[in-house]
Structure formats: structure tokens, C-alpha cells
Structure 1
Amino acid sequence: MMNNPLPQNFTQCLEYYLINLLAKGYSQATVDLKQQILETFFDWLKIQAIFDLDRVNVSVLDTYLENLRSHRKKLSNLPLAQTTIRTRATTVKIFLRGLYTKGIIESNECEKFELPKAGKALPKSILSIQDVLAIIKQVPTHTIKGIRDRAIIECFYASGIRRNELVNLKLEDFDFSARQIKIVNGKGGHDRFVPIGKTAILWIRKYLRDARPYFAHIGSGHTLFLGNNGKKFLPGALTSLMSKYIKRANLNKFGSCHQYRHAAATHMMDNDADIRHVQEFLGHSSISTTQVYVHISKARLQKVYKKSHPRAD
């Protein structure tokens, strides 16, 4: 068992905290996200010449919050979403609470820190069906890498799965005869089956036949989609790869892997899919999360308006 780290040693405090999260049953993906957020927070603290977690108070967190609000993304120069800001601030607050509970920091004034409102931001720049087709045309499918990249895009759009879910897919998770994928230990630790369309299956078969053997080596294991090094994609590398094709399409829209998930859900709603089915498809634990796609489905709104409003015509 680890001894309590000193509050001046950020690395040891983080390691101690993450080990405790894993022991409590948090998924590796959740732990990895918290680690990324906290490491970014530590980097910011050092810029502020704060090298002791006992010195982090409400005033420090208020300044950090302002920093998050003024931050701009590198690729799009857009501000962070309100939900992202809240997630980062919440992660830091809960981390400090955990250290205080374990007796690592002497006080926890930061418990008084007021978190920003979560907001109800809608997904921005949803890809239309024509946008998805335009992006697909950017993929050089005459190359080995292009075949793989096309298969990944088709899989994302057809199944609506999350980035980490795709990264962790195994060869045995595909049932081609049933046209479905098994998602093992998805968000929240849940397993589920997701249907996948014929076009995606054709491209995944082509990838398995013509491209995967080119990347694969003894260390590849059963990982389905392999990076250039023959290993499982790093999440950041997959994000960069997918955003590259969206940028090439000159759509004036930004995003990466999650864009296809938003698009799949919105297009299903546009075509009168039942919200409960979309919820199951996306793997949402709460239907309130899926409800956002009702609001952004402009086609559905038009249908309902024309059918129900007496002055529609």
C-alpha cells in the first residue's frame, strides 16, 4: 500500500489518486481522462508559480476557471464547450476533496468553490449526409492506409460508437452474419450490441483482407483497427487522423470522431427513429442525454410543424 504523498509532489499525488479510482472500479478510460485533465491543471499551477497543493484555494480555482473560459482550441480556435469547462473544474474539485479526505492536504477551502453551470449546449456543426459523403471522398482508398481510414470512417458513421469503443474493438467483436458489433466495457462499464450497415461491413472486410495484414505483427493481438505501428490506436492519434479528413473536405465544420456519432444519431432522428431506439443505439444510460438530438433534428421539426400547425401551409 502506498504511503501518503506530500502535497508538493504533484506526480505522486496524482498516482495515489488514480490508483484509488481504479480500486473503486472506475473504468480505465475514465481514469485516463481524469489524469489528462489533472496533468493540464498541474501545468497551469506551475505557470502560476504554485508548487504546493495546500496553496490551492477558491481564488486560485476562480482564476483557473477564467483561464478555461479564455482558452481556444488549437485546430478550430473555438472556445471550450461549457460542459468541457464544467468537467475540468469538477475533476479538479473532486481530486482536492479526495486528497483532503486522505489527509494529504491540510484543509479543503476549495469545497466552497462554485462550479460553473453545465448548460444545455447542442452539438455544433452537425454533419449532413452530403457532408459525410464529401469527407469520404477525401480518403485515398487506392492506398493501404486509405483503405483502413475509409473502414474506420464507415464504422464510426454506421455504428455511432465512441472513439474509445472503436479503439478497443477486437476481431471477435464483429458478427458479420448478424451485422452487429459487440461493445465490451463501453462507457459506464456496460456491454451492448450495435447494428452496423452493409457498406461499413464491405469496407471492414476489405480492410481485413487487403490492409490489416500490412500493419499487423506479433504484438498486434486481436485489435481490429491498427495504427501505422501495428498497435492499437492512441486516442489522440485517431482524433488527428479523423479531423484531417473533415478539414480536407472544406466544410467549414470542425470536429473529429464524435462528429460521426452526432451525425448518425441526428440522421436517424430525421428519418423518424424512435428516441428509445436511438438511446439504445448510442448506449446512453439516460434518455435525457439522447433528447438533445430531438432538438437538433431540423427535418423532424419541419415534419411535425407541417403536420400539426394550422398555419403551416
Structure 2
Amino acid sequence: MKDLITHFIHYLTVERGLAKNTLESYQRDLTAYCTYVREEGFTDINQTTRAQIMGYLMRLQEQGRATATISRNVASIRAFYQFLLREKITDKDPSVNLESPKIEKKLPQVLSVTEVETLLNGPDAHMPAGMRDKAMLELLYATGIRVSELVSLNLADVNLAMGFIKCFGKGSKERIIPLGRLAIENVRGYIERSRPLLKKRGSDEALFLNHHGRRLSRQGFWKIIKKYAQVANSNKEVTPHTLRHSFATHLLENGADLRSVQEMLGHADISTTQIYTHVTKTRLKEVYAKAHPRA
């Protein structure tokens, strides 16, 4: 079964071109599922039944796993069996009609414009690392890109003269996103004055570098944004994704159309973007409740 998972991951990589993080999720979910199946005494994929899958999902539930995690496991298992059926490795699909647990859609945490400004003003732009941090935060809020896309940016992906960046999202899909004046100024300042001091013998192409001169990692940026959230004394849970949510919400609040926001965020389905319309409606209700004398 381990070889079958490897075969499946290779198919997802070559044929579907899925992102690295997605591939790792499939690998992790299916490895755990197959370990459970072996513990139950099944070594042949053709022996597994719906009962084994349900037993595995129940174990995840007993372990206190989140509904989203269980739902993702169902999707991984379903895709795996469909692949095996299509490749004629098995003649049955025990995952047919397997229902995913319903996930309660939570509205994303969003910062107000004032809270964003406080966060973005946290770094000391007189220091090389502070100048880099300021440029990253400004760029993240200006474009709404994911943190994985941010740390993957190369110098060649940034066109400050024309005012845009090029990034590769999920499924290696390329998109072009405009930059605002403040983001351009801070990224240019970082490239001209801070990056040469951080570079040392490190990467020639990576845009954002750590203190070793190598490409900054996702974990590295996570620590950076947590530090500035503490400096800003934010009582909200601030993550790299918080600026992405704030970017989308603030655009819609100021009249941007949903299709344009969808394109900038890199959402394949507009229904994913529509959650931000619910956020803006919620915020409107809050403003009304506070401002109207008879609310």
C-alpha cells in the first residue's frame, strides 16, 4: 500500500500539478489511513471495505481531530480509491457515497484599517531586518498573497517600475497583482539598502532573506508577524493569513468587485471569495448598531 501511495502522489505531482503543501497533506493523510488498515490486519487494498474507512474516521474523531481535518482525510481517501479504480489496480471503491462531516464556516479574523496601520508601523525601518519586515508586511497587505507565495518570491517576480508582482499560487497557477505606492516604496528601500546587507553568500534570486542570507521560510515569517502583533498589542489572533483576509475585506468595503478580488486572491471558485461579502455585511451591522440612535 505504501508503493500505491507513492504512485498516487507521483500522479498528483505530474498530472495534476498540485502545490507542495497539498501533496504533503495527501501523503500524510493516506499514510496514517494505511497504517490503520494494516493494524486492522489488511494488507491487500482489495480487502478494504467501507467499514475500515468509517473505523479510521471514528478514530480521528476520538482523537479530537478538527472537523476540517476529518473532512480533508475523507477527500484524500476518496481521491486515492478513485485513482486506484481508474488505474485498474482495484475493482471496487469502498469510499463511494462516503459523506464528509459538515464544516461550520467561520468568518475569518479581520483587522480594521487602524489595526493594520499599527501592525505595519511596528518594524524599525532604520535596521536591515526591520526594513525587510516592513517591506514584507506592506507587500502582504497590498497584494493579499499567501505567506507561501510571499516567501517564494524572487527578485525577478517584482516589477517596481510598472508596479506589480508575479506569483505562483496553488497548482502553480501564475497571477499578476498590482502594488500600491507604499508597498513599492518599502520594497524598493529593502532591495536597495537592506537586502545587500543580509545577502552575504546566500541566495542570488530569493527576494526576502533571513539573517543567514538564505531564503526566509514560512516558519520564519510566522515568528516575525507574531512579534509585531505583540508590539501592536493586538487583542486579535494575528496570523499571516489575517492580512490576506483584511486585504480582501477592505477592498470589498471600498467598492471593489468580487471577480477582481477573486482574481487577485487566486481563488479557483468565486464561492470561496464570497465569504468576504458576509464579513463586510457583519461589519456593517456592527457599525449600524454602534452609530444609529435607535438601533
Q: For the superposition of Structure 1 and Structure 2, which TM-score range results when normalised by the shorter chain?
A: 0.7 to 0.9
2:280 to 291, 297, 303: 297
Q: What amino acid is the match of 1:61?
A: I
Aligned: 1:61 with 2:53: yes
1:206 to 189, 193, 199: 189
In 2: Cα distance, 1:294 partner to 1:251 partner: 24
Q: Residues 195, 109 of structure 1: CA spacing in aligned structure 2 closer, same or farther, 3 A cutoff?
A: same
Which residue in 1 is equivalent to 2:214?
Answer: 231
In 2: Cα distance, 1:300 partner to 1:127 partner: 11
Q: What amino acid is the match of 2:206?
A: T
Structural RMSD (CA): 3.6
Q: What amino acid is the match of 2:17?
A: Y
Q: Residues 126, 61 of structure 1: CA spacing in aligned structure 2 closer, same or farther, 3 A cutoff?
A: farther
Contact 1:14 1:35 in 2 (8 A): no
Q: Residues 107, 240 of structure 1: CA spacing in aligned structure 2 closer, same or farther, 3 A cutoff?
A: farther
Aligned: 1:259 with 2:242: yes
Identity %: 30
Task: Give the C-alpha shift of residue 275 in structure 1.
Answer: 2.1
| RCO comparison, higher one (Cα < 8 Å, 6+) | 2
In 1: Cα distance, 2:96 partner to 2:55 partner: 16
Task: Give the C-alpha shift of residue 142 in structure 1.
Answer: 4.4
Task: Give the C-alpha shift of residue 199 in structure 1.
Answer: 1.4
1:33 to 18, 22, 43: 22
2:7 to 16, 20, 25: 16
Q: Residues 199, 98 of structure 1: CA spacing in aligned structure 2 closer, same or farther, 3 A cutoff?
A: same
Unmatched 5+ residue regions in structure 1? 1-6, 73-78
Which residue in 2 is equivalent to 1:87?
Answer: 72
In 1: Cα distance, 2:48 partner to 2:157 partner: 45
Task: Give the C-alpha shift of residue 176 in structure 1.
Answer: 1.4
Which residue in 2 is equivalent to 1:3?
Answer: none
**1:8-59 CA distance string (max 9 Å, x none):** xx3x4433222112221413x2x44232343255347648946847376434
1:264-303 alignment to 2 at 5 Å? Answer: 264-298=247-281, 301=284
Q: Residues 295, 204 of structure 1: CA spacing in aligned structure 2 closer, same or farther, 3 A cutoff?
A: same
Q: Residues 273, 141 of structure 1: CA spacing in aligned structure 2 closer, same or farther, 3 A cutoff?
A: same
1:131 to 102, 112, 115: 115
Aligned: 1:151 with 2:142: no
Q: What amino acid is the match of 2:75?
A: T
Q: What amino acid is the match of 2:27?
A: L
In 1: Cα distance, 2:268 partner to 2:198 partner: 36
Task: Give the C-alpha shift of residue 262 in structure 1.
Answer: 0.6
Which residue in 2 is equivalent to 1:113?
Answer: 98
In 2: Cα distance, 1:312 partner to 1:272 partner: 27
**1:167-202 CA distance string (max 9 Å, x none):** 22121222212221122x333443222111111122
Q: Residues 289, 36 of structure 1: CA spacing in aligned structure 2 closer, same or farther, 3 A cutoff?
A: closer
The SS at the match of 2:123 is: coil
**1:97-152 CA distance string (max 9 Å, x none):** 32454465685423353222355x14332122222233334434443322222211
Q: Residues 154, 69 of structure 1: CA spacing in aligned structure 2 closer, same or farther, 3 A cutoff?
A: farther
Structure 1 runs, 4 residues or longer, greater than 6 Å off: 303-306
- Aligned residues between the structures: 290
Structure 2-normalised TM-score?
0.79
Q: What amino acid is the match of 2:181?
A: K
Which residue in 2 is equivalent to 1:171?
Answer: 155
Unmatched 5+ residue regions in structure 2? none
1:189-200 alignment to 2 at 5 Å? Answer: 189-200=172-183
Q: What amino acid is the match of 2:80?
A: F
Structure 1-normalised TM-score?
0.75
